[in-house]
């Protein structure tokens, strides 16, 4: 257990080991760890920023949804209004159509009635003349009394 | 074989040469093996460092680097790229050499004996050569830092005017000289004494009967886990402190 020249051997080992530890362990590892801690810091900052952005986006989304809802409500109201308008228009048109059809039918009826009356009148004149002729023989001449008969049937 | 023979055998280094010029091969070789372990591990890990979450040995090494780095940044206020690596080397290498004490006291000597090697002291830090070598290395670094920061004149001036001012110059010289020399000496002797005593206690425990030896053996081994770590830490911490003091230009 005396101090021996081993001392110098161990000093050399120590020196070599220090050199090696510095080159291979200390410098790369401290650089790596500094780099990593910077990256972690960056990551935390980014996460914080992301959280903030998410908050903003959430607020934006809420706003958009609210706007969309009010717009949808507006559109619904407009549609309701339009529906009422269309229904009203249709009703009005239907009423007009009914009136028109009614008028046409009435006119047709009047026309047919007039025609029938005209034909009836003509037939009746003929029948009256025929009957009178049969009663009176050749007393009444169609050519001579035609104006009279016309006047009579006209009064019908 | 008597108890005294047993202990003497275990405390004899495998050496060649005599007196100061003897070379303790077991100390050197085990020191080299442990240094090589660190080198190979560091080299293998250093080649492919994981940028992301570290795993396994890299994690361990990073923890060691971070631990040492924290100590350095807390104590050392100068700027010297060598302090960190020196502190890390001291901490890890001394810890590994101390940790050889955790192997059963007889294991390596018996294996060596079976291989025909007469002596083997397994713990390099129980050799004063190792602890003094480290302390002398730190001393030279401190000297270098002193000369670099203060200059030769400035460094010599601290011998003259420190700690009592210029009127007690002779006393100052003695005091500063003692201070400068006592630092490496205390570094070397503290580690050596702790590890030597610890090894000796293991040897004494090994002499107990087998049916009782494991009780104090286990207790001492558990306690020794603390000692080997603590001594490595203290050696590292004091080295940083001494280097830091050397880098300070104005003390008073």
The DSSP secondary structure of B46-103, one letter per residue, reads HHT--SSS--HHHHHHHHHHHHHHHHHHHH--S--TTHHHHHHHHHHHHHHHHHGGGS
pLDDT of residue A101: 95
Scanning B23-42 for CB atoms below 8 A from A yields 23-24, 27-28, 31-32, 35, 38-39, 42
Residue among B98, B121, B129, B93 nearest B194 (CA): B98
Segments in B115-168 forming alpha helices (H): 128-161
pLDDT tens string B158-172? 888 777 777 778 888
Residue located via tokens 């630092």: B183
pTM, rounded to two decimals: 0.73
pLDDT of residue A67: 96
The catalytic residue among B59, B182, B186, B218 is: B186
CB-based contact B152:B221 (threshold 8 Å): no
Say whether A5 and B21 touch across the interface (CB within 8 A).
Answer: yes
pLDDT of residue A52: 95
In degrees to the nearest 10, what's the CA dihedral of B191, B192, B195, B197? -120
pLDDT of residue B252: 42
Is the pLDDT score of B251 beyond 60? no
Q: What is the mean pLDDT of each run of 10 residues along chain A (156 residues)?
A: 82 90 87 89 95 95 96 96 95 94 94 92 84 72 72 74
Among B85, B184, B188, B199, pick the best mutation site for testing chain A contact (most A Cβ within 10 A): B85
Closest residue of chain B to A25, computed from CA coordinates:
B42
Across A146-150, B71-75, B87-91, which has the greatest mean pLDDT? B87-91
Q: Is the peptide bond before A22 cis (omega within 30 degrees of 0)?
A: no
pLDDT of residue A94: 95
Establish whether B186 is a catalytic residue.
Answer: yes
Alpha-carbon span B245 to B206, nearest angstrom? 43
Is the pLDDT score of B65 beyond 50? yes
CB-based contact B224:B213 (threshold 8 Å): no
Say whether B35 and A5 touch across the interface (CB within 8 A).
Answer: no
pLDDT of residue A65: 96
What is the average per-residue pLDDT within B16-28? 84
Establish whether B190 is a catalytic residue.
Answer: yes
pLDDT of residue A1: 56
pLDDT of residue A137: 66
Residues ≥6 apart with Cβ < 8 Å to B119: B9, B12, B13, B14, B15, B26, B109, B112
């Amino acid at each position: 257990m005396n101090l021996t020249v081993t001392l110098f051997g161990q000093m050399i080992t120590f020196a070599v080991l220090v050199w090696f530890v510095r080159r291979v362990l200390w410098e790369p590892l401290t650089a790596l760890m500094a780099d990593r801690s910077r990256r972690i810091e960056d990551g935390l900052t980014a996460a914080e920023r992301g959280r903030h952005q998410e908050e903003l986006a959430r607020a934006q989304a809420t706003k958009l949804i609210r706007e969309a809802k009010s717009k949808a409500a507006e559109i619904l109201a407009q549609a309701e209004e339009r529906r009422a308008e269309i229904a009203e228009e249709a009703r009005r048109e239907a009423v007009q159509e009914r009136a028109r059809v009614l008028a046409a039918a009435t006119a047709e009826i009047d026309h047919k009635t007039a025609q029938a009356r005209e034909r009836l009148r003509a037939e009746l004149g003929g029948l009256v003349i025929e009957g009178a002729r049969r009663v009176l023989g050749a007393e009444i001449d169609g050519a001579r009394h035609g104006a009279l008969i016309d006047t009579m049937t006209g009064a019908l | 074989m008597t108890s005294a023979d047993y202990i003497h055998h275990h405390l004899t280094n495998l050496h060649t040469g005599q007196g100061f010029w003897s070379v303790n091969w077991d100390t050197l070789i085990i020191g080299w093996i442990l240094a090589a372990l660190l080198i190979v591990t560091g080299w293998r890990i250093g080649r492919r460092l994981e940028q992301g979450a570290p795993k396994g040995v890299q994690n361990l090494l990073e923890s060691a680097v971070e631990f040492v780095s924290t100590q350095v940044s807390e104590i050392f206020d100068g700027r010297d790229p060598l302090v960190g690596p020196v502190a890390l080397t001291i901490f890890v290498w001394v810890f590994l050499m101390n940790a050889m004490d955790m192997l059963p006291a007889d294991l390596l000597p018996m294996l060596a004996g079976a291989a025909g090697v007469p002596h083997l002291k397994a713990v390099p830090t129980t050799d004063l050569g190792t602890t003094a070598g480290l302390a002398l290395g730190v001393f030279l670094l401190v000297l270098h830092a002193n000369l670099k920061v203060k200059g030769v004149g400035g460094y010599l001036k601290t011998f003259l005017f420190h700690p009592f001012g210029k009127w007690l110059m002779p006393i100052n010289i003695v005091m500063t000289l003692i201070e400068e020399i006592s630092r490496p000496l205390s570094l070397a002797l503290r580690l050596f004494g702790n590890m030597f005593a610890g090894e000796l206690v293991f040897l004494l425990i090994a002499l107990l009967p087998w049916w009782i030896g494991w009780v104090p053996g286990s207790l001492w081994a558990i306690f020794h886990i603390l000692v080997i770590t603590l001594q490595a830490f203290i050696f590292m911490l004091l080295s940083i402190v001494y280097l830091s003091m050397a880098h300070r230009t104005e003390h008073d």
